[in-house]
Amino acid sequence: MPNMSLEKVKMPEQAPDVRNKNFEEVALGYTKEQAIEEATRCLNCKNPLCMQGCPVNVPIPGFIEAVVAEDFEKAYEIITSENALPAICGRVCPQEKQCESKCVRGIKGEPVSIGRLERFVADYHMAHAEAVTPDIKKNGKKVAVIGSGPSGITCAGELAKRGYEVTVFEALHKAGGVLSYGIPEFRLPKDLVAKEIANVERLGVDIETNVVVGRSITIDELINEEKFDAVFIGSGAGLPRFLNIPGENLLGVYSANEFLTRVNLMKGYKFPEVPTPVKVGKKVAVVGAGNVAMDAARTAKRLGAEEVYIVYRRGEDEVPARAEEVHHAKEEGIIFKLLNNPCEIHGEDGWVKSIEVVKQELGEPDASGRRRPQPVEGSNYEIEVDTVVIAIGQSPNPLIRQTTPGLDTKEWGGIIVDENTMKTSKDGVYAGGDTVTGAATVILAMGAGKTAAKAIDEMLTSK
């Protein structure tokens, strides 16, 4: 008999006023008992709608059934048959828009907490199973992967499993892409990311850091000189957008990428124990309301800022961040200034002094289907701050397209691919993840990496 509780089993968390002062993980994860209790809420539907919501088709009811049976290793095997990075996805996927949004239990009450269960299974496996180095027969073919974010890592892992010799080229000194430099420690512990990457390396994948493709070596050179049989581009969308308003080059104005990179990749939160500093004032305004903005705001709070504002030109319903992040941010004391559009940053002696905003009201829906904000005449006012973090989105870095003849891109820089195979306009070259879609999600990037791996395999075996 299923557990008919209308609510999810709560996941233990650090209390808001404790955690907003440390960088430890916020959510602590289910215990074995809690996981089993939550798993019994699943109806094991014949036609599981949840799976339709999952971009990589994880056999959800199957793994949940294994959790009920307390066979956690089997649950892990079922998940990883489709998803190579479950400990990460269980933490950062927007489940409320994907699997959980479709779950029948959600019609009356809360859906099954698929994300928390996925996380539990992955963490249990990491804590208990021994790392194994599988014995894979090499097929003698070489594939180059550019970028070590979720798309590149997934593509590399899938190809290595099929016997390819895979080299991942990463521009930074550390693998992981946004998982390492963008998403903060308190949401996605970095040693966990490192473990997931080590698992992929165990499949025989070689990760070369400190190689900027386009500068250190070009794609044409990889194919013609280094004799790679195929190339996958998973270079992400790392180029920060700015507002282009006066005052943006004042001291104290950061892109979210700079702010988060200083903290996550360079461990600036440990300054002066580490040499990379990060400056955060008493009052911080973060412009934007996506996941990146929430991460920047919550990070600023943890670095000691007294007041942290989210400044966003649209309304509550349009906030693009995961619901859980918004909820956590509010609990931690982040102040939301919605329907406020920044128009100028004012400074004093070169440093930020305040951010001037115009109040907005919502008009008709625009091209994105969201109601278009319109300025309220004469409603300008200044918010006093000493740090401004711009988190209004990123676009693909132009380096690859500038140095790769024959690679077609959209006007905004996204690489054009055939969606069924991820093949680009250039022979033997595939692409996926944020560099194709623009800033999206971890799971979509992984899905693209997987699709590309399958297509590359088909292309190279038919040769």
Partner 1 sequence: MYKILAKETLNSAVELMEVEAPYTARACEPGQFVIIRVDEDGERVPLTIADYDREKNSVTIVYQVLGYSTTKLSQLNVGDYIHDFVGPLGQPAPLHKMERVVGVAGGVGAAPLYPQLRKLAEMGTKVDVIIGGRSAEFVLFADKFKKFCDNVFITTDDGSLGIKGFGTTVLQEQIDKGVKYDECIAIGPLIMMKNVVKVTKPYDLKTMVSLNPIMIDGTGMCGGCRVVVGGETKFACVDGPDFDGFEVDFDSAMVRQGLFKEEEHQCKIGRG
Ligand X SMILES: Cc1cc2nc3c(=O)[nH]c(=O)nc-3n(C[C@H](O)[C@H](O)[C@H](O)COP(=O)(O)OP(=O)(O)OC[C@H]3O[C@@H](n4cnc5c(N)ncnc54)[C@H](O)[C@@H]3O)c2cc1C
- Least distance (Å) between residue 168 CB and partner 1: 14
Q: Note the helical H segments in 144-238.
A: 150-161, 178-181, 190-202, 219-224
- Least distance (Å) between residue 181 CB and ligand X: 7
In the list 11, 26, 42, 89, the residue contacting ligand SF4 (rule: CB under 6 A) is 42
Under 8 Å CB-to-CB from 445, ≥6 apart: which residues? 149, 150, 151, 154, 234, 236, 432, 433, 434
- Least distance (Å) between residue 93 CB and ligand SF4: 14
Rounded Cα distance between 425 and 418, Å, is 9
Pick 360 or 394: Cβ nearer partner 1: 394
In the list 32, 97, 138, 173, the residue contacting partner 1 (rule: CB under 8 A) is 173
Residue 151 interface partner, choices partner 1, ligand SF4, ligand X, none, CB cut-off 5-8 Å depending on type = ligand X
Binding footprint of partner 1, residue count (CB under 8 A): 39
Pick 54 or 334: Cβ nearer ligand SF4: 54
Under 8 Å CB-to-CB from 48, ≥6 apart: which residues? 60, 61
Look up residue 119 and give its DSSP letter: H
In the list 246, 398, 405, 406, the residue contacting partner 1 (rule: CB under 8 A) is 398
What are the backbone angles phi and psi of residue 89, rounded to the nearest 5°? -60, -40
Q: Does 403 bind partner 1 (CB under 8 A)?
A: no
In the list 67, 114, 392, 407, the residue contacting ligand SF4 (rule: CB under 6 A) is 114
Q: Kindly provide the b/e burial profile for residues 46-79, where b requires at least 16 CB atoms within 10 angstroms of the residue's own CB.
A: eebbbbebbbbebbbbbbbbbbbeeebebbbebb
Region 339-378 residues binding partner 1, contact defined as CB under 8 A:
350
Instruction: Provide the token pair at 372.
Output: 């278009």
Rounded Cα distance between 141 and 230, Å, is 9
Q: Does 60 bind ligand SF4 (CB under 6 A)?
A: yes
Q: Does 276 bind partner 1 (CB under 8 A)?
A: yes
- Least distance (Å) between residue 378 CB and partner 1: 29
Under 8 Å CB-to-CB from 11, ≥6 apart: which residues? 27, 28, 29, 30, 34, 113, 116
Q: Does 245 bind partner 1 (CB under 8 A)?
A: no
In the list 8, 105, 161, 187, the residue contacting ligand SF4 (rule: CB under 6 A) is 105
Residue 279 interface partner, choices ligand SF4, ligand X, partner 1, none, CB cut-off 5-8 Å depending on type = partner 1
N-term to C-term CA, the chain: 54
Pick 55 or 414: Cβ nearer ligand SF4: 55
Residue 385: C-alpha distances to residues 29, 310, 408 (Å): 36, 12, 43
In the list 112, 156, 417, 422, the residue contacting ligand SF4 (rule: CB under 6 A) is 112
Residues of this chain that interact with ligand X (CB under 6 A) are: 92-93, 146-152, 169-172, 177-178, 182-183, 212-214, 234-236, 238, 260, 291-292, 295, 322, 397, 399-400, 433-435, 439-443, 445
Residue 267 interface partner, choices partner 1, ligand X, ligand SF4, none, CB cut-off 5-8 Å depending on type = partner 1
Residue 85 interface partner, choices partner 1, ligand X, ligand SF4, none, CB cut-off 5-8 Å depending on type = none
Q: Does 104 bind ligand SF4 (CB under 6 A)?
A: yes
Rounded Cα distance between 429 and 443, Å, is 22
Binding footprint of ligand SF4, residue count (CB under 6 A): 16
Q: Note the helical H segments in 332-418.
A: 399-403
Residue 217 interface partner, choices ligand SF4, ligand X, partner 1, none, CB cut-off 5-8 Å depending on type = partner 1
Pick 36 or 159: Cβ nearer ligand X: 159
- Least distance (Å) between residue 388 CB and ligand X: 17
Planar angle of CA 421, 424, 427, nearest 5 degrees: 100
Stretch that binds partner 1, among 22-30, 111-119, 159-167, 234-242 (CB under 8 A): 234-242
Rounded Cα distance between 153 and 159, Å, is 10
Tell me the β-bridge partners of 394: 240
Q: Does 224 bind partner 1 (CB under 8 A)?
A: no
Q: Are 354 and 384 in contact (CB under 8 A)?
A: yes
Pick 101 or 421: Cβ nearer ligand SF4: 101
For helices 150-161 and 442-461, what crossing angle results, to 10°? 40
Q: Are 117 and 38 in contact (CB under 8 A)?
A: yes
What are the backbone angles phi and psi of residue 365, rounded to the nearest 5°? -60, 145
Return residues touching partner 1 (CB under 8 A). 171-173, 181, 209-212, 215-217, 238-240, 242, 244, 248-249, 251, 254-255, 257-258, 261-262, 266-267, 271-277, 279, 350, 397-399
Return residues touching ligand SF4 (CB under 6 A). 42-45, 48-50, 60-61, 64, 103-105, 111-112, 114
